[in-house]
Amino acid sequence: MPARLIESLATTEPLAEIFSDQSVLQAMLDFEAALARAEARVGVIPESAARVIRNAAKADAFDTTTLAAEILRAGTPGIPLVKRLTDRVRAKNANTARYVHWGATSQDVADTALLVLLKKAQSILNSDLARLQRALKKLSHEHKSTIMLGRTLMQPAPPVTFGLKAAAWFASVNRSRRHLDDAFAEALVVQFGGASGTLASLGKQGVEVTRNLANELNLGVPDAPWHTQRDRLAALLCSCGVLTGALGKMARDISLMMQSEVAEVAEPGGQGRGGSSTMPHKQNPIGCSFTLAAAQRVPGLVASFLSGMVQEHERGVGGWQAEWPTVASIIQATGLALASTAEVAEGLSVHKTKMRAHLDATEGLVFAERATMLLGAKLGRDVAHRIIEEAIRKNKKQKRHLVEVLIEIPEVTQHLDLKTLRHIEVPEEYLGSAEVFRKALLSSSRKTKKK
């Protein structure tokens, strides 16, 4: 795994590979090679020069340790990279060396390389998003009739279905995915502006070279260079923050339901997964832990990026230099949360009997609202509320079901018959529009954004 030990709880192997030294270096070299090909296509540099530059732009020929030290000294990756690449090209063909990095500036290299990496990361995120959505939809369908306690402010509330809960998770993830897709589409545009964003060094051919460069790298073409306009990237990272928060909410729910005294669901386990170094009996919510850790880290990282948006004129001092590690951390944390949550959802065990037992253990208290509404239709809500409150006090003191207490209250039996009273605590009859809402949440995947 390319990640260091200290990063092993903050990324996945595929994303660690994307943001590894070799991958980042190759992305910068890919920019230089693509630029040469784009310029050769319109006659700015010779075709033979583009071929030499392309052949020299191979990451395995560079010493990343030395390059990293030089980048720190230069304050930008572009300067030492271009110098090293130029030396390699000169060794192959002295006359071609003059065409390396023709018309570009250091930030063009760094920004476009970052976009190349983000485009690769997008496919990984999308793959795990699809896994997660499939798993949540399956859970929702399978448990559309699995009744469980609703919980408000961490306390028992009227019943819901686990299918509805899973559908709500699905819809939140789905909305976040649509925003993320839009943000990627907006952000993945090439950066090529030259010294101060006018491409003056290329004369009238700057726009055509930009189009060719974008085509070479499979990126979009912006209206103009965007050196210090960081709003597209900011929107992308904010979308990651929202998605990670949505995943964190799901992880929080599941981890609470996994507590041994609750035991309504369980993460998939396996050798080396979810154990304890001292307590062999434990099955810890490891997948949820990774997701919650990411959900705690990402908002601060997003805020860090947003604070760096205030950049000076045509080239920033400090704000731009702060971005690379921040962006890489956000994308990797988001990816870890996605992969972890997808694994949890795909292997989640749902314990229906436990869910029902917790509902029954309330001795009907969670149906107090239903009793109040039925009686309120006859006596008015305020009177009904007073009667039910008194019944609840007896219920708690005597450890009897709410219905048993209600049957003994004349004010109740005068207006509600025995059959109605005995059905108050039937959860299947007090789910309201749960199934309608569940279906609507799942169908949200077919809705498109309004223009």
Q: According to the model, what pLDDT value does residue 173 have?
A: 98
Q: How many CB atoms lie within 10 A of CB 310?
A: 10
Residue 275: pLDDT above 70?
A: no
Q: Calculate what percentage of the chain has a pLDDT beyond 70.
A: 95
Query: What are the residue ranges spanned by the domains of the chain?
Result: 1-104+202-216, 115-189+226-359+433-451, 365-424
The mean pLDDT of the chain is: 93
State which fold the 115-189+226-359+433-451 domain adopts: Fumarase C; Chain A, domain 2 (1.20.200)
Catalytic (active site) residue 315: yes
Q: Do domains 1-104+202-216 and 365-424 have the same CATH topology?
A: no
State which fold the 365-424 domain adopts: Ribonucleotide Reductase Protein R1; domain 1 (1.10.40)
Annotated catalytic residue: which of 276, 349, 433, 443?
276
Residue type, 115: L
Q: According to the model, what pLDDT value does residue 270 have?
A: 61
**pLDDT, tens only, 411-441:** 999 999 999 999 999 999 999 999 999 999 9
Q: What is the mean pLDDT of residues 272-294?
A: 72
Residue 184: pLDDT above 70?
A: yes
Annotated catalytic residue: which of 151, 252, 315, 356?
315
**pLDDT, tens only, 44-96:** 999 999 999 999 999 999 999 999 999 999 989 999 999 999 999 999 999 99
Catalytic (active site) residue 151: no
Q: How many CB atoms lie within 10 A of CB 211?
A: 16
State which fold the 1-104+202-216 domain adopts: Fumarase C; Chain B, domain 1 (1.10.275)
Is residue 201 very low, low, confident or very high in pLDDT (cuts 50, 70, 90)? very high
- What's the pTM? 0.93
Q: According to the model, what pLDDT value does residue 446 have?
A: 53
pLDDT higher for 315 or 444? 315
Report the candidate in 349, 347, 335 with the shortest Cα–Cα distance to residue 291.
335
Q: According to the model, what pLDDT value does residue 273 have?
A: 58
Is residue 319 very low, low, confident or very high in pLDDT (cuts 50, 70, 90)? confident
